[in-house]
Structure formats: C-alpha cells, structure tokens
Structure 1
Amino acid sequence: MDIFGNALRDRQAGLGGRLMTIRRDDGHTDAHDPDLYFAAEPFPHEIDLLKRAEGPILDVGCGAGRTLLWLQGRGFQTTGIDKSRGAVEVCLERECQDVRLFDIMDGGPDALGALAFQTAVLFGNNFGIGGTIEGGAELLRRLTRVLAPGGQILVTGLDITGTTDPSHLAYHQRNRARNRPCGEIVMRFEYEDDVGEWTQWFHPEAEELVRLAAEANLSVEAIGPAGGPFYAAALRTPR
C-alpha cells in the first residue's frame, strides 16, 4: 500500500488540509502535512548545502520533486528516484525531467544506467532509507557505486540527541538498553482510513555519520549544525 504516494497524489489533485500521521512503535505520533513536499524553495540549510552541488545530480527519495524542480530551474541535469509509485507519478505531473521508480536499497546500480553522478542528495532525513545503522553503511556503499570519482553526497539530518521530549528520551534509552543506536526507529504511515506496514528508519547522529563515511572510504568535507534541530554534511568519494 503506497500511503505516502496517496497523500502526495491527493495534494497534487488539490485536496489540501489532509494530514498524514507518522506513528512510532511506542505510540508517539507526528501529524505531517503533505504540503511540505511541494515547497517552492528548499529549506535555508538545504540551499546552503546545494551551493556545493555539481551535476549530474541524483535525488534519493525525491518525494514530490521539490528539490528536483529547484535544481532544474538552475540548469542542473537531475535524476530523481523513489520507491513510491505515487511520488514518481506526482513528480512527472509536475514536469520533473527524469524520475524513476527505484529502491536504492534493493535495485542494482546498473538499473540507473551508465550515467556517473557527481552529486547524490539525501534531504528530508532520507538517510533513514537505510533503516538501521548497518543499512546506513550499505546505503553509502551503494551510492558510491553510482557516483563518479570525486563525487559527493549531501546529507541533512536531525540532531536527535538535542531533544528534551520525554517520549523521545525514553525511546533513546530503550535503544541503548538493546545496544542499538538512539536514532533507529520503527514507524508506519497512516492516512485517511489507511494504515501502512511497520518499517525501520534510521536517524544517524553526526558522529555516527562520520564513522559510517570512513567505513565507506568517504571523506567528510563539512559537517555541523544547520539551524534548529538539523545538521548538514558533505561527503566525497576518492578522486
């Protein structure tokens, strides 16, 4: 069931005001407005990071195409991938140039063709696609296989340890007791009357991202706070 895609389809069709719920397996919920994926401009911390971008660019988990359209408008050659069929359909309706139904954690790099990307973008906490810390390591390995020598990976994430929310702190402690990273979560999407399957997601702490980058033979060119609860990082493959 493509709950995320259905929410984007409805928003594209003009059905605003319908919130999607992200439910964590401890019961914590977050009401999520699909409008977020249709923003005309990237967030300020994303724009700062995109100053480093070189084309061609791969947007991993492109959603409704907000980053793709912004980059296209600045002359970059872009490719977007998402495992949500609805997201891909919405991107194409919005005239994103090259969007493909593709799961980076499942499909082989050959499925993206012979194009060697100079930049891969993981915005909107999309490093979480890896699901776990082990999956995050595999995600970086897979991205290095589609990047040109000297290519880069631009990442934005949540500084999860900066929270004072008791439910988040309790969740972190539960993970520590299981000898797991604080940022590993299990969640599902709920929208209208539909309930999705539980899925794993991973919010790496900055130092965890640095360690995973080193294991994937990536250099860390920049990493640090990016305003509010966010941090931003630029990783580069060997030349």
Structure 2
Amino acid sequence: MFEKDPFGHAIHDYVKGSPTPDIIVRSELCEDDSMEVELLFRDFEEMPELEQIALKRCSGKILDVGAGAGCHAKWLKQQGLEVSLIELSKGAVEYHITQELNSRCIDFFDLKGEQYDTLLFLMNGIGIGGELKNLEPTLRQAYELTTPKGKVLCDSSDLRYLYEDDEGGYWVNLNAEYYGEYDFQMQYKETQGDWFKWLYVDFHTLSDCAEKVGFSVELLYDKDYHYLVELTKK
C-alpha cells in the first residue's frame, strides 16, 4: 500500500495509534539522521519561531507546497484562510482529504494556469529543484503562480558551517561545486523511498537569483545559519 512512500506510511501509522519509530533520513555526504513522526503533527505553539512568523504573514489564497502531514495548512484553515495543499506523498494526501483539506498529489513544476496570493515553502521547501542550476526555474515557476501583489514565503539553510575547520577555513572548495546540493533517501520501517536531490541555498545566492527573476527580497528571520525570506513581485 505504501510502496516507496515512507511519509505516507508513517502518517497513517500515527493516525491509527500504531507504534511509530523515527523516519530515517540517509545522505551520501553525512551520517544518517532521523525524524520523529510526531513532529509532522505539531501544533502552532510547538512550531519553531521561523514557521510561526511565516504563517502569520500568509494572506489571501494560499498554496502550501510540500505540505507534509498538513500541520501548517490546518492552522491556516483554523484562522479562516483559504489554503490548498500539494504533496507528492499519496499517503499524505489521503490523510489530508480525511481532514477536509483541499489537497492534490501533484508536482509543483506541473502546475499551470493557477495563481495564488501566497506560496508557502517551509522546511527548506524552496530546495525542491535539487540543484543550484534549478533554483532559477523554481523561482520562475513561483513567480508565474503568484498574483501581481502576491508573495512567496520560503526558508533555507546555509550549510557552509558543516565544512568549516577549527581555524575558520574550509576543508572543501566551496567554489568548485555548490556545497548545498545533497542526495537523500528516506525510510520508515520497511518502506524505503527513492533517492532524491535537495538544495540548501545561502541567503545571498537565493536573493541574487530571486532579484534576477523579478522579485524583491525581504529577510524576515536569520539565526544559526537558517533564514526566512518573503519574495514579492517588483
């Protein structure tokens, strides 16, 4: 039922009250990490400050891109806002529908002829292009999907600190290949997903690319190499 859909498997187990071990996140560049399933269901008070700031700035017709278990969209709906969700996990979308959320299983890059007042990309969601060369096409798609006075709210992380030595230098050439490109694979119990690429981009690179596409950039939060920006059309 959940072939190659570890997120969907974990969500359905949690909702049923079944035991939920952590979701394992593998990368070829660093040690395995893990994610507690209950984090996917956090309420507003449990969310990091960055996410709270982003949610409070959402307005109008909203699209939550890569919505996970829908915790952000649920809060927005509770505030009386109009929110739609997209997510590639079929199991997650099935759960959204049981919660009376307007959700679709569709790739962000396949959206055509739609416009929103707010596009929301949280949990490093702007990295869906996977590689730095795909950041501009990602932002251009976001530009096309926002209304003339619309906004894009997105966060990311500058991972250069992972390569810094004790003397303040770097043990890799940060200019050779972009240091924020990673390959990941997720596993929950016996359910293993495909490997996929993800991009973590520093603020200045994101800002330069967004300006090139036609956005103005406002930095809303910046702490511990993690930041939140609001992009609006010039």
Query: Could you state the TM-score of these two structures normalised by the residue count of structure 2?
Result: 0.88
* Root mean square deviation of aligned Cα: 2.3
**Equivalents in 2 of 1:165, 1:65: separation in Å?**
35
SS at match of 2:108: coil
Whether 1:230 aligns to 2:234 is no
| One-letter identity of the residue aligned with 2:80 | G
Partner of 1:210: 207
Question: How has the CA–CA distance of structure 1 residues 93 and 128 changed in structure 2, closer, same or farther, with 3 Å as cutoff?
Answer: same
* 2:5–2:192 CA contact under 8 A, matched in 1: no
Partner of 1:4: 7
* 2:122–2:154 CA contact under 8 A, matched in 1: yes
Q: Number of residues paired by the alignment? A: 226
Whether 1:191 aligns to 2:188 is yes
Partner of 1:95: 100
Q: Of 34, 37, 42, which residue of structure 1 is paired with 2:40?
A: 37
Partner of 2:152: 153
Question: How has the CA–CA distance of structure 1 residues 15 and 202 changed in structure 2, closer, same or farther, with 3 Å as cutoff?
Answer: same
SS at match of 2:25: strand
Report the CA distance between 1:215 and its aligned residue.
Answer: 2.0
* 1:210–1:220 CA contact under 8 A, matched in 2: yes
Report the CA distance between 1:163 and its aligned residue.
Answer: 4.2
**Equivalents in 1 of 2:38, 2:131: separation in Å?**
28
Question: In the TM superposition, what are the counterparts of 1:71-220 in structure 2 within 5 Å?
Answer: 71-96=76-101, 98-105=102-109, 107-110=110-113, 114=114, 116-163=115-162, 173=172, 176=174, 179-220=176-217
SS at match of 1:150: strand
Partner of 2:218: 221
- Structure 1 residues without counterparts, runs of 5 or longer: none
Encode CA deviations 1:70-91: one digit per residue, 9 max, x unaligned: 0011111001111111111121
SS at match of 2:194: coil
* 1:172–1:182 CA contact under 8 A, matched in 2: no
Query: Could you state the TM-score of these two structures normalised by the residue count of structure 1?
Result: 0.86
Partner of 1:25: 28
Report the CA distance between 1:136 and its aligned residue.
Answer: 1.9
- Structure 2 residues without counterparts, runs of 5 or longer: none
| One-letter identity of the residue aligned with 1:204 | V
Same amino acid, percent of matched pairs? 27
SS at match of 2:120: strand
Encode CA deviations 1:213-238: one digit per residue, 9 max, x unaligned: 0121111023541x445211111123
* 1:20–1:34 CA contact under 8 A, matched in 2: yes
| One-letter identity of the residue aligned with 1:119 | T
**Equivalents in 1 of 2:55, 2:189: separation in Å?**
35
Encode CA deviations 1:182-214: one digit per residue, 9 max, x unaligned: 110011111212332211000111111101201
